[in-house]
Amino acid sequence: MKLSIVPARAGLASILAAMLVFAVVDRADAGCGCAACVSSCQTYETVEKTIYVPQMVPETRVVNQTICKPEVRERVVTACRQVPETRQVTENYTAMVPQQQTRTQHYVVCKPVWSEVDQSYTVSIPQTETRTGIRNVCRPIQVQETRKISRNVCGWEDVACDGSCGGHETVVQKGDIDTTQKGAAQKGGATVVQNGDGCGGTHRVWRNQCVTEEVPVTVWKNEVHQEEYTYNVTTCHPETRTRRVRVRSYVNEKQSREVTYTVCVPEQRTRIRNVTTYKTISEQRTQKCTVMVPHTVQKEVTVMVCHMVPKTVTCKVPVIAPTYVCGGHHRGCHCRRCCY
């Protein structure tokens, strides 16, 4: 891979060099490039020129390559193996042998003891008491009062006629005149006499008059007064009494008993047991192994090489008339190629 990358880098450098040369030649043929010269004194003509362009060409090259080939070889190695060995050994050991023993145990027990004692207690005794209180009592009473009333007072009144009234009707009480009188007519519960002669004299008129007067009346009113009354109240009074009760108490009493228990007594004993040990033995062995042996071989590879190939192209180049002199009137132009 390293040998194939080197030609590619060389080809890239050749391409960059060719592009730089082409740019310099084109710059020289293009003139000074100032705006004053281009706009006034510059003309172009078509010419043919040869340029070199890069071209990638495949080439076959012989390179050295290292490859590894497997190869079977023999080697002597030292191997270790474990060989068991069994032997009998005698050992002393201590064994715990259970043994039954008896002992006297003392203990304390709580024994209940009953006794009668006097106990005081309090009871509540209900009692009825008579008490006196004051309460408000409402009673109705008759009261004489004076009130104003209005009534209608009606009666006959003799009215004198002065003769200017002409014919008029006179309301008279029923039965005072003869109903067969000329011009008499019934109106409601009274008799109306028509006087049409227009003469003077008197006539009776029924008058209504509203009179206001004070009259005594008897009314009922509520009167509140206090009075004493008695009522019963139940109260409880405490009373101390005495009674005989049984009380239980506990007394500690020492007792003893024979108990049997088991203890382990150490005892020395001897036993024979088999012990297996392993012994390490070294041996020489021939072992086959595969190793990778490097070999250098030549190999043809195809690589891409960059060559500069000539090529004819047509382009326009600026042409300046030889008789034209700038005269220095192109402001801003400092080139000596076209303006001098």
What ranges do the domains of the chain cover?
Answer: 2-74+295-319
Please give the single-letter amino acid code of residue 33: G
The whole-number average pLDDT for the span 263-278 is 92
pLDDT (average), residues 12-38 = 53
Q: How many CB atoms lie within 10 A of CB 38?
A: 14
Percent of the chain at pLDDT exceeding 70: 69
Confidence bin at 187 (pLDDT 50/70/90)? very low
Structure confidence at residue 164 as a pLDDT band (50, 70, 90): low
Q: Is it the case that residue 180 has pLDDT exceeding 90?
A: no
What's the pLDDT at 185?
41
Whether residue 316 has pLDDT greater than 80: yes
Q: What is the pTM of this model?
A: 0.25
Torsional sign, CA 173, 178, 180, 183:
negative
Q: What angle do CA 166, 170, 176 make, to 5 degrees?
A: 140
Three-class SS state of 156: strand
* pLDDT computed for residue 162 by the predictor: 62
Q: What is the pLDDT of residues 49-91, one digit of tens each?
A: 889 999 999 999 998 989 999 999 998 989 888 999 999 999 9
* Mean of per-residue pLDDT scores for the chain: 77
d(CA 319, CA 325): 14
> What's the pLDDT tens digit per position in 188-244?
444 444 444 444 567 788 888 888 888 898 988 888 888 899 999 999 989 999 999
Whole-angstrom distance, CA of residue 78 vs CA of residue 6: 50
